[in-house]
Amino acid sequence: MQELKDKIKQYGTVLPGNVLKVDAFLNHQVDPELMYHVGQEFAKHFAGRGITKIWTVESSGIAPAVMTGLAMHLPVIFARKHKSLTLNSDMYTADVYSYTKKTTNRISISKKYVDQNDKVLLIDDFLANGQAVEGMMEIADQAGIEVAGAGIVITKTFQPGANELRDKGVEVYSLAKVKSLDNGQVTFDTDD
């Protein structure tokens, strides 16, 4: 998605540890017009697949997920994130390890908002090691519902998440694929 790649080039900065900081339009300040276009792009790609709900994880996944829900006329559920959470029979839960932050969070979705015939589209801002998407897949598994695919705003293809998800049979659709952040430079995949 050219508009997104232009924003990354213009405003993205590279931090030590291969972290792409995009606080100017995605992770802190949010560019609603860009997010609106992101939602339309995911809606176009995943149209006609019988999707019933959009899932994401708080907090940075919410903006692109809500815009996708708007474009697809579907409800959006964001998994809540907790440092620890006592197991509760009203919730589906999964543990998500963040390699970036070296912490484990338990994510949860209330059973109240899950139907047996749901088919969910997973949306997230970044795909790096794939832990957040895998946590949502674990919850879908517990609920016995289908995952239609994953829509990712920015995928770091030099980290293992995208390939691991594909190996598990999940379609990953990324709007910007970052091949490298070496020397402080953002390089996109050539097929992007």
- What residue ranges bind ligand G4P (CB under 6 A)? 19-22, 27, 57, 59-61, 98-101, 125-132, 156, 161
Task: Dig out the tokens for 69 from the structure.
Answer: 């829900």
Does the annotation list 131 as a binding residue?
A: yes
Strands (E), 83-182: 91-98, 103-110, 119-127, 146-156, 172-180
Does the annotation list 5 as a binding residue?
A: no
In the beta sheet, which residues pair with residue 15? Answer: 19
In the beta sheet, which residues pair with residue 106? Answer: 82, 95
CB of 50 to ligand G4P, least distance (A): 26
Does the annotation list 79 as a binding residue?
A: no
Does the annotation list 27 as a binding residue?
A: yes
Q: Which is nearer to ligand G4P, 44 or 166 (CB)?
A: 166
CB of 182 to ligand G4P, least distance (A): 13
CB of 28 to ligand G4P, least distance (A): 9
CB of 92 to ligand G4P, least distance (A): 18
Q: Which is nearer to ligand G4P, 72 or 157 (CB)?
A: 157
Task: Dig out the tokens for 191 from the structure.
Answer: 């097929």
User: Is 109:87 a contact under the CB 8 Å cutoff?
Assistant: no
Does the annotation list 65 as a binding residue?
A: no
What's the rounded Cα separation, in Å, for the pair 81 and 78? 9
What's the rounded Cα separation, in Å, for the pair 159 and 181? 11
Query: Which residue blocks in the chain are alpha helix, DSSP H?
Result: 2-11, 32-45, 62-72, 131-143, 161-167
Q: Which is nearer to ligand G4P, 59 or 110 (CB)?
A: 59
| 162 φ/ψ angles, rounded to the nearest 5 degrees | -60, -45
What's the rounded Cα separation, in Å, for the pair 61 and 65? 6
Q: Which is nearer to ligand G4P, 6 or 23 (CB)?
A: 23
CB of 40 to ligand G4P, least distance (A): 22
Does the annotation list 128 as a binding residue?
A: yes
Q: Which is nearer to ligand G4P, 69 or 135 (CB)?
A: 135
Residue ranges for the known binding site are 20, 27, 128-132, 156
Residue ranges for the known binding site for xanthine are 20, 27, 156
